[in-house]
Structure 1
């Protein structure tokens, strides 16, 4: 399902590049304070993919090594799965979240909120790449989340209320790329703005 979301997001990206190439290229960079949300609406199906520098969400980008950092990272990933706090759709559309996944390069959470081999990966990584470990601790890290909704009354889908900036104070600007049927739209949200009309 995540591959489908990514493929659809690439489609959104391609459509938006043709609409406004210079603006979209700007979104691809790892910029603290900025995040990107790609949304595809097709009939009663909605797929969304969120990406942000980890710094915006946790306040740090280094690899989580202390218990406090690991706890904050895990809490952030769980918070990214709280669809009702991050993405609000019109009640009349009767939408239900059917899939959510959140990850960074160290931990992957699916909608059962379980880590998928994070400890095994970290242990293997230490043995296989000892010389690269120090570089990776200082590398830019991103966090991502994917969401899938099914809506029973798709004609009532006339807006979406995204609350990522309210949930994560490190996000100052959210670039939202929408593909609604065959129409592409790009919106920049800043503090106090969260509703996007279709």
Structure 2
């Protein structure tokens, strides 16, 4: 297949991702217990973006004030950076994690990028994960284990943009697979 024949599909996926990203940032998106997960498949690339209130991940939404809270931040960052324990793409696709980016408007420490505060008193964590897959034709889904690691998280609103099309679904405790 020639690269120029893939261009329309890549443009469609990029447009879908931009649309999903804009929807996730609408006012009122910050709900405790609920997080947004966006999954984009583009050729050999798998990208997952998570937007969650910090309360879901830490139990608080402010700059850590105690040693216990600072330890919780370090543990959260360590868990998310070890994305293989949180996200499991289809094994046959042979995907390898290439980047993890964590960012928050709350000053959480050097391992998490600071972003401007939105002024509503609530702080979120934005996390981006990227994989490159050696056998992308075998990539059919990803298992998501966020709720096991972060029990305050009770629902994931998932948007998927993949070569097979776009879809939305909710993950709840006990339902952790996203397929396309």
Structure 2 length as normaliser, TM-score?
A: 0.79
1:30/1:16 Cα in 2 relative to 1: closer, same or farther (>3 Å)?
Answer: closer
Of the two structures, which has the highest relative contact order with CA contacts closer than 8 Å and spacing of 6 or more?
A: 1
Are the equivalent residues in 1 in contact too, given 2:63–2:108 (CA < 8 A)?
no
Structure 1 length as normaliser, TM-score?
A: 0.72
Number of residue pairs aligned between Structure 1 and Structure 2 = 166
Which residue is equivalent to 1:163? Answer: 145
Cα RMSD, aligned residues only = 3.2
Q: How many angstroms apart in 2 are the aligned matches of 1:27 and 1:43? A: 32
Which residue is equivalent to 1:186? Answer: 168
Q: Any stretches of 5+ residues in structure 2 without a counterpart?
A: 1-12
Bigger share in helix = 1
SS of 2:132 mapped into structure 1: strand
Are the equivalent residues in 2 in contact too, given 1:89–1:160 (CA < 8 A)?
yes
Q: How many angstroms apart in 1 are the aligned matches of 2:18 and 2:152? A: 24
1:47/1:92 Cα in 2 relative to 1: closer, same or farther (>3 Å)?
Answer: same
1:166/1:26 Cα in 2 relative to 1: closer, same or farther (>3 Å)?
Answer: farther
Q: Any stretches of 5+ residues in structure 1 without a counterpart?
A: 1-7, 122-135
Q: 4+ residue stretches of structure 1 with deviation over 2 A?
A: 8-13, 24-28
